[in-house]
Amino acid sequence: MKKFFMVLVAMLFAMFMISCGDSDNDPENDNETDNEVTDEVTDEVTDDVVTDDVVTDEDVVVCTLDTTWMTPADEWVSWSYLKIMGEILDYDGEEYVEAIFTDGKIKLAETTTELTMGSVQNYQGSVLLADAVDYEFLNQTATSATVDYWDAMYQFSAALIPAMKEQGVKEAGFGATMWFRHSFIDLTISGSSITAQYIRKNCFLALSKTEEVEEEGETYDVPIGDMYGCYDDNIDGSIGEDLKMMFKNQLTEDEAEMLEFFNTQTDGTVLQYGDEGYTHICTCYEADGVTEVNCWNEYDGPGGTEDCPAVVEAAGECGDVDPDEDVVPDEIADEVADEVADEVADEVADEVADEVADEDTDATII
């Protein structure tokens, strides 16, 4: 298949970091040992996932989302792929519509996670977001629960779609800017409705790996991977259009690379530990979901504490680490923590409320 190698990469690709919520990028680097999502998931992309075709009125196939395209390169230790089809939503809008099909997988050095739900969003007309998620409920009661939430966000310039359509190509030749995170959210429940939600812990686990590309004397950091689109139903990725795309990325789990990415400012400067606004890999909150605490000796919520970050240890500011092991039940302590921001939490609330309304139970929210 013909690939689209752009001459003006910088005009069509941008390293956008869309923040979800009021905090900076609430991350997590989970160092707990019991981090396996499943031992059953294989490392290879199989061919038995649904393949959807885009056809003309004469039923002639013009574009196929072939699952085999998502197979990662052999040399990629950590990688991700995603096939997603759905209506493009307004990132700032109130309505949430789940994509009609989501097939995602994240393979890290020691874990594999499958993502089967998602959405596609337009951020202020300039950036398109494909968000693939998975979650489960912990410690459910009639009045409360905790959401264990996994989230992979793919981001790319909306200008990519008209550019690829003009060139008559399906492949971009480079990957999306992508990150993978894990969160815990406490919920308050009344009847079949979620009345309050409190983010407790957010951690970034991986980031799209980049390589330097030189074009016309300029050097750019471009994600290693590719994007494939069936754009017959698209003009420019506007709200309300249907998007059909596949993504694959090589990932990095290197903490230094992630810290640099999440602390890089618009002027190119990089915040250092101690600077106002500095972002850790993991961010933790008190039960109110607002008061931020460090994740190594102050946090006592779901997911448990983290090791003191190297930059904090080097500054001699770790303090006494004496977590209360009785605060978090064993079954939760064995789970990995990820991140979700206020907007993502709202999406969870809408989805859960819909599920609850459809089911005849008074004791749980599932």
95 confidence band (pLDDT: 50, 70, 90) = confident
Segment among 8-12, 21-25, 207-211, 334-338 with least mean pLDDT: 8-12
pLDDT tens digits for range 171-196: 999 999 999 999 999 999 998 889 99
pTM over the 0.85 mark:
no
121 and 128 in contact (C-beta within 8 Å)?
yes
- For residue 150, CA distances in Å to 147, 167, 184, 198, 200 come to 10, 36, 9, 16, 14
pLDDT tens digits for range 46-87: 333 334 444 445 555 568 899 999 999 999 999 999 999 999
Checking if the pLDDT of 251 tops 70, the result is yes
Closest CA to 119 of 107, 134, 132, 137: 132
Compute the distance between CA of residue 27 and CA of residue 280 in angstroms, rounded to an integer.
Answer: 7
Q: At which residue do the structure tokens 């990325």 appear? A: 249
pLDDT tens digits for range 283-314: 999 999 999 999 999 999 999 999 999 999 99
Other residues' Cβ atoms within 10 Å of the Cβ of residue 55: 13
- For residue 319, CA distances in Å to 286, 308, 313, 314 come to 18, 9, 9, 12
Compute the distance between CA of residue 203 and CA of residue 336 in angstroms, rounded to an integer.
Answer: 9
Compute the distance between CA of residue 231 and CA of residue 54 in angstroms, rounded to an integer.
Answer: 9
Q: Of residues 221 and 344, which shows the higher confidence score?
A: 221
Closest CA to 362 of 157, 149, 151, 143: 143
Q: Of residues 26 and 143, which shows the higher confidence score?
A: 143
pLDDT tens digits for range 5-23: 332 222 233 333 444 333 3
Compute the distance between CA of residue 87 and CA of residue 99 in angstroms, rounded to an integer.
Answer: 7
Task: Please give the mean pLDDT across all residues of the chain.
Answer: 78
Compute the distance between CA of residue 25 and CA of residue 353 in angstroms, rounded to an integer.
Answer: 26
DSSP 344: H
Strands 117-123 and 79-90: parallel
Q: What stretches of the chain show up as alpha helix (H) in DSSP?
A: 9-12, 160-167, 255-263, 310-314, 330-333, 342-358
Handedness of CA 345, 351, 354, 359 (dihedral sign): negative
Strands 127-138 and 117-123: antiparallel
**With DSSP H G I counted as helix, E B as strand and the rest as coil, what are the percentages for the chain, rounded to 5?**
15, 35, 50
Q: What are phi and psi of 113, to 5 degrees?
A: -130, 130
219 confidence band (pLDDT: 50, 70, 90) = confident
Checking if the pLDDT of 257 tops 90, the result is yes
Q: At which residue do the structure tokens 């941008």 appear? A: 14
Compute the distance between CA of residue 62 and CA of residue 53 in angstroms, rounded to an integer.
Answer: 8
- For residue 10, CA distances in Å to 18, 154, 346 come to 18, 17, 33
Compute the distance between CA of residue 344 and CA of residue 347 in angstroms, rounded to an integer.
Answer: 5
Closest CA to 177 of 131, 139, 133, 141: 131
Cβ partners under 8 Å of residue 280, min gap 6: 27, 259, 295, 309
Compute the distance between CA of residue 261 and CA of residue 223 in angstroms, rounded to an integer.
Answer: 12
Q: Backbone dihedral region of 59: left (phi > 0), alpha (psi from -120 to 50 degrees) or beta?
A: left
Cα within 13 Å of Cα(13), Cβ side: 27
Cβ partners under 8 Å of residue 28, min gap 6: 181, 182, 183, 201, 202, 203, 204, 205, 281, 282, 283, 295, 303, 306, 337, 338, 339
State both tokens at 298.
């102050």
pLDDT tens digits for range 117-171: 999 999 999 999 999 999 999 989 999 999 999 999 999 999 999 999 999 999 9
